[in-house]
Amino acid sequence: MIKLLQIEWLKVKTYRTFWVLFGSFVLLFPITFYFVASKYMETVSQKNQESNMINSVLGAPFVFPKIWHSASWFGGLFFIILGMLFILLVTNEVQYRTHRQNIIDGWSRTDFILAKFSVMITFILIATVLVFISGLVVGLILTPENSSSDIFEGLNYIGYFAVMAALYLVVAFLVAILIKRTGLSIIIYFTVVCIVDNLLWVALTFRGSQAGYYLPLEAADSLIPNPFKPRMMEQRTVTDMSLLLTALAYLALFGYIILASFRRTDLKT
């Protein structure tokens, strides 16, 4: 798979759009995260009625150990940029017929899918490391010196972020393989991720049902709930382990559909 990844690198290293979108994630996420965290800490340090109320409701989301939760949640907000980039990389292969050329040159259809999976895994690893470093740096800067908190308590949220990133990218991969057109694929991806998934969750949990937490994207999202939502508003009773197993099952299912679909597709289209 390393060889396949090296070939993929040759395809994108001079692709300007790749660097613009990838750089946007790498730069915007940590900068925005630090800015929001510093402004929040500045607000709650002002010892007035407003800051006391905010602190009593939200606690300290930008100091250890809660920083890992907040960093992972913020990373999820920006990760959709990499989802869009991944769709571009896959659909460009189809539109410019380079996927056919790869197979003519000796790749199997499985090799093509594995090459894209290697890119997906690389994105996940880079994003996860970036979230970890951002959380560590911001936590070290903003956590009071007299704090006795365990720095690495709550580090499981970084693992949850990796699972969420994998699920978001495999959904992007599935959409790109099935739709094949860049613009339409991106529109459908954003619609599913930002609108359809949320509407279905609201519909399924409106009367207290827990079924909405087992939706494909919600299974991963719910592992990292909004850290700024008061606990009294949390309705989930499903365990993290149940959600994790559900997310992994969807990953396996979508991966199989991608591979099976590409093996049957007409490469002329």
Domain regions of the chain by residue span: 2-264
More reliable by pLDDT, 230 or 131 = 131
Residue 183 to residue 181: CA distance in whole angstroms = 6
Q: Tell me the C-alpha distance between 152 and 175, whole Å.
A: 36
- Of 23-32, 132-141, 258-267, the one with minimum mean pLDDT is 258-267
pLDDT band at 267 (very low <50, low <70, confident <90, very high): low
pLDDT at 25: 96
Please tell me the predicted confidence (pLDDT) of residue 11.
86
Asked if residue 262 lies in contact with residue 177, where contact means CB atoms within 8 angstroms, the answer is yes
**Planar angle of CA 19, 165, 127, nearest 5 degrees:** 45
What are the pLDDT digits (tens) for 198-221? Answer: 899 888 887 778 888 999 999 999
CB 27 within 8 Å of CB 16 = no
Q: How far, in Å, CA of 78 to CA of 24, rounded? A: 9
Residue 107 in this model has a pLDDT that exceeds 80: no
- Return the minimum-mean-pLDDT range out of 14-18, 147-151, 155-159: 147-151
Nearest to 186 by CA among 172, 166, 203, 206: 172
Distance, in Å, from the CA atom of 133 to the CA atom of 155, rounded to the nearest integer, reads 12
Per DSSP, the three-state class of 64 is coil
pLDDT at 268 over 60: no
2-12 pLDDT, tens digit per residue, is 888 888 898 88
Higher pLDDT, 179 or 48: 179
> Is pLDDT of 74 > 70?
yes
Q: Cite the DSSP H helix spans in 59-155.
A: 67-95, 98-104, 109-142
Percent of the chain with pLDDT over 70: 87
**Cα–Cα distance for residue pair 2/225, rounded to 1 Å:** 35
Closest CA to 100 of 110, 112, 89, 116: 112
User: Quick check: 174 pLDDT over 90?
Assistant: yes
Q: Which amino acid is at 139?
A: G
Integer Cα distance of 105 and 181 in angstroms: 24
Q: What is the per-residue pLDDT across 216-255, written as a single tens digit (0 to 9) for each?
A: 999 999 999 988 876 666 778 899 999 999 999 999 999 9
Residue 58 has pLDDT above 70, yes or no: no
